[in-house]
């Protein structure tokens, strides 16, 4: 009887220890993913300040339980926010830690993401050759991981870089490769980015008809995924196309729609840009009364921005 009691105690103790360790780890990971989801929602609205706060909360939770995949992902996302703030040194430092972790756990897709973001930083600093090398390194990691989304995204990014380098024929090839893969894998967000890029390339080549075609395709994909930030950019691009053609009514329509999106998102820089474009067109067509309304709005926006700063 005594032996049976001892065995029973051991079983109960083992169960208690399991509950005490497994459940909290699960809960912490769930908390991390909840913070990460909130961060992505803010990021996709262009609210990078709150995005980085929630990514840091996710990072704190993942570090508590040694979730290396989660930690590396959180670091990468924090670096993305820093890039949008123009804090490139901060981003490089954070990415260095992410690369160390992803290298240790052999997370090839994660390494692809990290090197792709490093390439983006180099592109913004106009270090184009370095950026190209980093994108090629990222593509190699994505291929090892058989990560088609990653491959397609890096092809689009290389296309953007080739445009900056004036290598338009190669840019077409790279972006069209991205579109083919994204279409096959039904990655609507990736398609929107690639369509937008191709539209811009056609605009540079003065193929206005094709430019509009791809800007509209990008808008359709962004509307499908309810990507407000993308929709804002698409509408602005379409408006700019019509303004260049001298079709001011259609340009005004799209600038006003872009303004509505940016106002809901609270992206003041974009609001100001749209207001300035609307005012410029209204001035061109001599609609002074309507122009005065938008000038007043712009003045109020500027005053509110100065007050908050």
Find the mean pLDDT for residues 125-150: 98
Q: Is the dihedral of CA 56, 57, 61, 62 positive or negative?
A: negative
Query: Using CA atoms, how far apart are residues 120 and 123, in angstroms rounded to an integer?
Result: 5
CA nearest to 20, candidates 9, 8, 12, 31: 12
Domain membership of residue 263 (yes or no) is yes
- 8-24 mean pLDDT: 40
Residue recorded with tokens 């809960």: 27
Please report, for residues 8, 9, 11, 15, the alpha-carbon distance to residue 2 in angstroms, rounded to integers and kept in the order given: 10, 11, 14, 20
Residue 265 is assigned to a structural domain of this protein: yes
User: Taking residues 168-191, what's their average pLDDT?
Assistant: 97
On whether the CB atoms of residues 169 and 181 are closer than 8 A, the answer is no
- For residues 113 and 167, what is the distance between their CA atoms, to the nearest angstrom? 24
Task: Identify whether 110 is part of a domain.
Answer: no
Whether 11 shows a pLDDT value over 60: the answer reads no
| pTM of the full structure | 0.84
**What percent of the chain clears pLDDT 70, i.e. is strictly above it?**
91
d(CA 141, CA 137): 7
The single residue listed with the structure tokens 């260049």 is 244
Angle at alpha carbon of residue 28, lines to 26 and 30, rounded to 5°: 70
SS3 66: coil
What is the model's pLDDT at position 173?
98
Count of domains in the chain?
A: 1
Residue 50 lies in a domain: no
Each residue of 254-284: pLDDT tens digit?
A: 999 999 999 998 888 899 999 999 999 999 9
Q: Is the pLDDT of residue 160 over 70?
A: yes
Token pair of 9, please?
Answer: 């105690």
pLDDT at 29 over 80: no
Check: CB of residue 82 under 8 Å from CB of residue 48. no
| The two structure tokens encoding residue 302 | 């500027």
φ, ψ at 101 (rounded to 5°)? -70, -50
Domain assignment of residue 184, yes or no: no
Span 180-218, pLDDT tens digits:
999 999 999 999 999 999 999 999 999 989 999 999 999
| Domain span at 243 | 236-309
Q: What is the pLDDT of residue 303?
A: 85
In a domain, 21, yes or no: no
Q: What percent of the chain has pLDDT over 90?
A: 81
Residue where the block lists tokens 């002074």: 288
Whichever domain contains 247, its CATH number is 1.25.40.10
Let me know if residue 135 belongs to a domain: no
Residue 66 forms part of a structural domain: no
Q: Is 95 exposed, middle or buried (0-12, 13-18, 19+ CB in 10 A)?
A: buried
Q: What are phi and psi of 115, to 5 degrees?
A: -70, -30
In this prediction, residues 25-38 reach a mean pLDDT of 84
């Amino acid at each position: 009887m005594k032996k049976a009691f001892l065995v029973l105690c051991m079983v109960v103790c083992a169960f208690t220890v399991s509950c005490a360790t497994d459940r909290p780890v699960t809960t912490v990971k769930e908390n991390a993913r909840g913070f990460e989801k909130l961060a992505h929602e803010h990021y996709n609205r262009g609210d990078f300040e709150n995005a980085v706060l929630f990514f840091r909360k996710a990072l704190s939770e993942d570090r508590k339980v040694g979730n290396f995949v989660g930690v590396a992902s959180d670091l990468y996302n924090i670096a993305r926010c820093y890039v949008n703030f123009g804090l490139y040194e901060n981003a490089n430092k954070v990415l260095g830690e992410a690369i160390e972790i992803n290298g240790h756990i052999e997370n090839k897709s994660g390494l692809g993401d990290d090197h792709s973001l490093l390439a983006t930083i180099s592109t913004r600093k106009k270090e184009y050759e370095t950026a190209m090398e980093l994108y090629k390194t990222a593509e190699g990691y994505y291929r090892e991981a058989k990560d088609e989304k990653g491959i397609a995204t890096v092809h689009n990014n290389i296309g953007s870089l080739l445009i900056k380098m004036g290598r338009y024929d190669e840019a077409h090839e790279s972006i069209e490769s991205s579109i083919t893969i994204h279409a096959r894998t039904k990655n609507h967000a990736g398609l929107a980015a690639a369509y937008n890029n191709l539209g811009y390339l056609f605009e540079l080549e003065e193929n206005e008809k094709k430019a509009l075609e791809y800007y509209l395709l990008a808008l359709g994909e962004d509307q499908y995924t309810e990507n407000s930030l993308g929709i804002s950019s698409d509408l602005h691009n379409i408006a700019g196309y019509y303004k260049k053609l001298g079709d001011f009514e259609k340009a005004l329509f799209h600038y006003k729609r872009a303004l509505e999106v940016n106002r809901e998102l609270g992206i003041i820089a974009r609001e100001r840009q749209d207001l300035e474009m609307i005012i410029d067109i209204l001035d061109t067509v001599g609609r002074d009364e309507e122009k005065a309304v938008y000038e007043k709005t712009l003045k109020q926006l500027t005053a509110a921005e100065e007050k908050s700063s």
